[in-house]
Amino acid sequence: METIIDLRSDTVTQPTPAMREAMYHAEVGDDVLGEDPTINRLEEMAAEKMGKQAGLFVSSGTMGNLIAVLVHCQRGDEAIMGHLGHTFLFEGGGISALGGIFVHTLPNQPDGTILLDQVAGSIRGSDIHQPITRLLILENTHNRCGGTVITPEYMQQAGDLVHGQGLRLHLDGARIFNAAAALGVPATDLAASADSVTFCLSKGLCAPVGSVLCGNHEFIAQARRIRKQLGGGMRQAGVLAAAGMVALEQMVDRLGEDHVRARKLADGLAYMPPLTFPHGKPQSNMVFVRLVDDYALDAREVAARLKARGVKVGVVDPRTFRMVLHYWVDDQGVERTLQAFQDVL
Ligand SMILES: *Cc1c(COP(=O)(O)O)cnc(C)c1O
């Protein structure tokens, strides 16, 4: 039996042999007491990669975003975010459930941005009838918009706007290194205007667990307290952080390969008549394709038939698939995926 090609997400990535080796040998201590040397090194390394003063190792991107919002906002404060943002769609409503945060969504543009005029027009004044607008959340790359890449210029303009109004900016940079690779800029350029930024070690970077939340010393001190409140204070988690360090050292610079393969996959699929590209050509490691309306099978059925041929794809809605390229899918994997689509369609 040939290996399964799993394109459902880059979260399915297994740790590399170098990661397992580093985990085995990791020096560890009680991180709640600040004594895990491996976590301390990972946090320093992450902060440097984001151009921030400090970092905090957290269990997931969801926890990183939640903690950031809880630091920036008090109960009843308003946070502005895109209507297709991960925090709005896919984080269980945690910021409202646990933080009492008032969510204000604005439309994401197809490129993943939010029109800054709309942001400006949504910031409330000091009228006691209204909640206090405290935060803008942006996402880069933008997952649900198609893995789109947002430029440093936009990030800077957004930062200038919200800071001028006394708000904070949080960047959900789950795949910020994909954005940086696609743009050919350092990730620090994308994070510079953000007061806080979180990125995932456990996606395209292949680590088994974890994200890092970064910001200034004061922000991270508060974030550390909230992580503890949420039950996220881990002890000898250096075994996990060790894999995260390998992720940052070895896996960041290769992300461009996934982008090349995403385009190759899209180019091949473009020849298949039932398929269209709802978000255009891939900008990073994601390929979204849609079945035309009059095609007889729905996405779930097509996905089941692809799976029977050893290819797993994500089903986004009854007509749309998402495929995410990652370290464990090579050129041959792309060829086999194209062949499987050819056979099924
Ligand atoms: C995956 C992801 C997250 C967080 O995911 P976890 O599964 O909680 O680690 C946050 N934002 C975006 C844009 C994501 O794609």
Q: What is the pLDDT of residues 257-275, one digit of tens each?
A: 999 999 999 999 999 999 9
Return the structure tokens found at 45. 């390394």
**pLDDT at residue 108 above 70?**
yes
Which residue's CA is minimally distant from atom 10 of ligand 1? Answer: 61
- Summarize pLDDT for 199-215 with one digit per residue, the tens: 999 999 999 999 999 99
Expressed in angstroms and rounded, the spacing between residue 60 Cα and the centre of ligand 1 is: 7
Expressed in angstroms and rounded, the spacing between residue 321 Cα and the centre of ligand 1 is: 18
- Summarize pLDDT for 38-82 with one digit per residue, the tens: 999 999 999 999 999 999 999 999 999 999 999 999 999 999 999
CA pair distance 137, 86, nearest whole angstrom? 10
**pLDDT at position 195:** 98
> 62 in ligand 1 pocket by Cβ < 6 Å?
yes
Of 294, 334, 330, 291, nearest in space to 311 by CA: 334
CA pair distance 283, 101, nearest whole angstrom? 32
Return the structure tokens found at 189. 């350029």
**pLDDT at residue 27 above 70?**
yes
The phi and psi torsions of 325 (rounded to 5 degrees) equal: -80, 145
Q: What is the mean pLDDT of the chain?
A: 97
Expressed in angstroms and rounded, the spacing between residue 195 Cα and the centre of ligand 1 is: 19
- For the chain, residues classed under CATH 3.90.1150.10 are 5-12+254-344
Expressed in angstroms and rounded, the spacing between residue 127 Cα and the centre of ligand 1 is: 35
**pLDDT at position 130:** 97
Q: First CA to last CA across the chain, in angstroms? A: 23
Domain 17-251 classification at class level: alpha beta
**pLDDT at position 134:** 98
- Summarize pLDDT for 143-166 with one digit per residue, the tens: 999 999 999 999 999 999 999 999
**pLDDT at position 177:** 98
**pLDDT at position 194:** 98
CA pair distance 38, 31, nearest whole angstrom? 9
**pLDDT at residue 2 above 90?**
no
Q: Ligand 1, closest atom to CA 85? A: 13
> 274 in ligand 1 pocket by Cβ < 6 Å?
no
CA pair distance 147, 283, nearest whole angstrom? 6
Test site for ligand 1: of 9, 13, 62, 141, most ligand atoms within 8 A of the Cβ: 62
Expressed in angstroms and rounded, the spacing between residue 110 Cα and the centre of ligand 1 is: 19
> 211 in ligand 1 pocket by Cβ < 6 Å?
yes
Which residue's CA is minimally distant from atom 5 of ligand 1? Answer: 61
**pLDDT at position 1:** 52
> 91 in ligand 1 pocket by Cβ < 6 Å?
no
- For the chain, residues classed under CATH 3.40.640.10 are 17-251
Of 81, 50, 268, 313, nearest in space to 174 by CA: 50
What percent of the chain has pLDDT above 70? 100
CA pair distance 227, 208, nearest whole angstrom? 20
Domain 5-12+254-344 has CATH 3.90.1150.10: yes
